[in-house]
Structure 1
Amino acid sequence: MKLLKNIDKKTFIAIGVLLVVLSIVPHLAKLSTITLMSRIFILAVYAMSYDILRGYTGFINLGHALFFGSGAYIGGILFTKIDNTMGVFVLAVIITVIYCSLAAYIMGKIVLRGGGVIAAAMITLALGEIARNTAERWRSVTMGADGLPFKIPDIFRDRLGFYYYALIFLIIMTIILRQFILSPTGRVLMAIRENEQRATFLGYNTSKYKLIGLQVAGITSGLSGVMFGILNRFANTDLLSVQQTLNALLITLVGGTGTLYGAIVGSAFVNTVQNYLLDLRSVHPIFERWLLFFGAMYVVVVLFMPEGFVGLWNKYLKDRRTKKNSRVFEKGL
């Protein structure tokens, strides 16, 4: 079964133990910790969506928050204009999938016409800013820069209950995205990342596969946006900004690009550190400028830890296996 491919027995047991721990923790934690962990789960999925592009396809999208913010706004607008029921939530999910798929298709058609990596990144940045400015000026629907508060379905109001929904969301999306990466399409995307010219020479329509990757990433990002909006019960234009895209970039860098699971590790680390720095605002005013610390973190990661935490762990395991095989070989001699 592809889903369990490359997962050894120890890793499988470790994942099982981790899930059991995550199921028990909220009953022992404070409400603020439960909310933080729900945020970690949702933003991990968002970072995974970005990793599909940057880590597995080699595509830099500086307007990726367009999908994330759109998901939050779609949910918020429907809950405000229609009703805050589960039926409307399902409708929000369906519309988000359709909208993000279409938006990703249009973005891909514009970006993939040629011009190189830098030009593509600038175009995606421009498209993202167009979406943000549109939301900011469309006050009759989005409430502009003031943001859009909204009520959510009763089933999501309990923070403890929503924690489990966020955890299930993370598990389901991880399984789906891992299956996608292990599929023939995912393998082609990785081939494009390594050498696009060679992939083209082998007969693959690289633009077509990039477009598929962009649509999968866009839909995943949009769904995480819906969940994030429900968590905060609020949507504003910051969710569409380039800063939100850079958050996903930082999470994937810290966790490890091209690993998928690195997004989970990175989300846990970045959000925990951010929450800790915000708590220190009462100690010294400098901690109100927490973005300064994240900028420094970004520089350190790029210079000294480009593989991220998961990359370093995989490297450690690889070196350990190599040394073990060497000792076995020496004994054989």
Structure 2
Amino acid sequence: MLKKQAELKAYYDNFPNIDATTNLTNPDIKKAEEFTKSILNRKPSGRVTEKDTACHVLNKLLGNKDQQCLFYDSASGINLHDASGNLADIGFEDKPFVLKLNSIQGLGGDKSTKTDEDDIKLVEILENFIEQNKSHAIIEDICDRLAKAHGVDKNSIVIKNVFFGTFNVVYTVLNLARTVVTELHKTSQKLKAQFGQFVSAKLHPLLFRPSFDIAFFDARGNKTFSSQSETYQIGPPGRTKTYTTAPGWTRYGLNVLGKSAYVNDDWLHPFQHAGNWYRAFHGTGGAQQIDFRDSNAYSGENTACVDALSSIFQDGFRPARTAAYGPGVYCSPNPVWLEDSRYAGKVELDTAQGKKKFK
């Protein structure tokens, strides 16, 4: 129990503070906005191995018409939260908030004074109730207050974890509406009004205007694959799957190794370690307007495949409309087949080398 609590605390304490993330008067944010404009307002070079093109691609993936990503250079003294270490979470449908309180005192109608030991014991009890999906007066009270603070129905609040180090609540807001996201700068004040023991509120780094240090690219992962596919066996002994490289494609390495969210780097590095995750490819070439939960996320037929990348980031994968082998999300371990099919979309980008098509 103590080990799990320590791991939760280490992971979630690294989330950025909502107030710091949404404070548009922060000098570092202003500098990052100018730096971002200097990149995105220029045509990308068109050379896929250069960072400016990579930044345009990343903004297409994670940004949308309501908000862009922020790029900054830590070498210039700008100090923002680098979200690159959380890119492995990109497919998570619900990205959590973390509410920090001084104490559990006052929740669930219990107004008695609580000691640190009382809070620790109660955290253990609440964790068991959460794991078993059982109702508890304190959990219900927290959900009520969170729903009021975010302006959503109580059923949209899902408590994921609680952990001590004061008292912390990890929760998500289901189907997070764009209006809720744009009102995040008011969230702390609304939470403070609901929780007398309020200390701070944090959010997942990819949830709102993710910021990236341009040093987040990890050269160890950069690679332009040869024109001929190669195959490798990935996964644990006896249960390996074939990984086929994407011929002629360029891969950007991102700084996701050595992160506290994972016990070690075996999931990715070294290549072909028995702990490596399986690898497969998902194409968005067939994306249509009906595939978007938020109609504002769809900007047109010509760019639907790129809009779909942002939609997957924001809302998670959508089950396939045509499900020949049953409901679910379809992917392929063979990028050659995917590239030659209708599933790999193409987008034309105006670059310094003229108009170029990117898959």
Larger relative contact order (Cα-Cα within 8 Å, sequence gap ≥ 6): 1
Question: Whose strand proportion is higher, 1 or 2?
Answer: 2
Q: TM-score, normalised by structure 1?
A: 0.26
The higher radius of gyration belongs to 2
Question: Whose helix proportion is higher, 1 or 2?
Answer: 1
Q: TM-score, normalised by structure 2?
A: 0.24
